Amino acid sequence: MLTGGGATPGRFFQPVPPDAGIIRRHAGSAAAVDSTMQLSELKIIITGGARGMGAHFATRLAEAGAQVVAADLDEAGLATLPAGIHRRVCNVAVEAECESLVRWAREQMGGLNGLINNAGIIRDGLVLKENRETGEITKFDAATWNSVLDVNLTGAFFMVREFAYDLATHKVRPGVIVNMSSVARHGNRGQSNYVATKAAIAANTVTWAREFARYGIRVGAIAPGMVETPMTQGMNQKARDALVAAIPVGRIGLPEDLWLAAKFVLECDYFNGRTVDVDGGLVM
């Protein structure tokens, strides 16, 4: 049910002021709504923007006329981005760096209304690993477990919190957040830490959509299957080939496939609190 009153904690739908600038109604027809956020109106931060999908999204957004801050650990990678994209070295796992990134991005772009929460790492391993020759069983170590949580989950939380705080305190609306989950969110052998973070990101996409509705911020997520980026190029070739062979559309995903999904989340003002699997049918 659509609520007609003021902010109601815990309610999913909240009214958006008609002057919010995002819903353009055609005169005389309440049903006909051209509800698109224009990409050219975005002032957006992309974490993990130095390569892979983050760099592709940054490039596409800049081409569409958006102002873009690409933030990454990888300074050399940031330097390869097209001219016009603002770049900032930042480790999203460090709270203070996320705080200063958001402040800096607002200054550079003269405002802020978008975030693509994309930085992520994989450090795979079975919980228990048995040596085939000796039979010795070793345990997955806590430090590797935590390293993935620190970047993929805590880093994403810091960025979402700082972004929402910035918009709420500057009374800017509307705003939009795109989180990068993964089809691994449904569970995947050898990826306990990664699965935990990507499932949490999808669940918190609902949480954050509900919490930030009062500030006019939508939150959506994309869950890629297997995509051709440096992350997957580093995989064991045999495992990679087996995975690609299992994709019903018959090929690995390309960053452009995921850009189409990101663009949809950014533009569609009625998409909120959900995660879209874009995996060529890999997880069915």
Ligand X SMILES: NC(=O)c1ccc[n+]([C@@H]2O[C@H](COP(=O)([O-])OP(=O)(O)OC[C@H]3O[C@@H](n4cnc5c(N)ncnc54)[C@H](O)[C@@H]3O)[C@@H](O)[C@H]2O)c1
The answer to whether 270 is a known catalytic residue is no
Q: Which is nearer to ligand X, 22 or 219 (by Cβ)?
A: 219
- Under rule CB under 6 A, residue 175 binds ligand X: no
Binding mask 111-130 for ligand X (x = CB under 6 A): -------xxxx---------
- Under rule CB under 6 A, residue 151 binds ligand X: yes
Q: Select from 22, 44, 46, 53 the one that contacts ligand X (CB under 6 A).
A: 53
- Under rule CB under 6 A, residue 226 binds ligand X: yes
> At closest approach, how far in Å is the CB of 272 from ligand X?
21
Q: Which is nearer to ligand X, 182 or 275 (by Cβ)?
A: 182
Q: Which is nearer to ligand X, 22 or 183 (by Cβ)?
A: 183
Interface positions, 73-92, toward ligand X (CB under 6 A): 73-74, 77, 90-92
- Under rule CB under 6 A, residue 187 binds ligand X: no
- Under rule CB under 6 A, residue 230 binds ligand X: yes
- Under rule CB under 6 A, residue 220 binds ligand X: no
3-state secondary structure of 11: coil
The secondary structure of the chain, three-state, reads CCCCCCCCCCCCCCCCCHHHCCCEECCCCCCCEECECCHHHCEEEEECCCCHHHHHHHHHHHHCCCEEEEEECCHHHHHCCCCCCEEEECCCCCHHHHHHHHHHHHHHHCCCCEEEECCCCCCCECCEEECCCCCCEEECCHHHHHHHHHHHHHHHHHHHHHHHHHHHHCCCCCEEEEEECCHHHHCCCCEHHHHHHHHHHHHHHHHHHHHHHHHCEEEEEEEECCECCHHHHCCCHHHHHHHHHCCCCCCCECHHHHHHHHHHHHHECCCCCCEEEECCCCCC
Q: Which is nearer to ligand X, 216 or 280 (by Cβ)?
A: 280
- Under rule CB under 6 A, residue 211 binds ligand X: no
Query: What are 150's strand-pairing partners?
Result: none
Q: Which is nearer to ligand X, 149 or 168 (by Cβ)?
A: 149
> At closest approach, how far in Å is the CB of 233 from ligand X?
8
Residue positions annotated with a catalytic role: 194
Which spans of this chain sit near ligand X (rule: CB under 6 A)?
A: 47-48, 50-54, 72-74, 77, 90-93, 118-121, 151, 155, 180, 182, 224, 226-227, 229-232
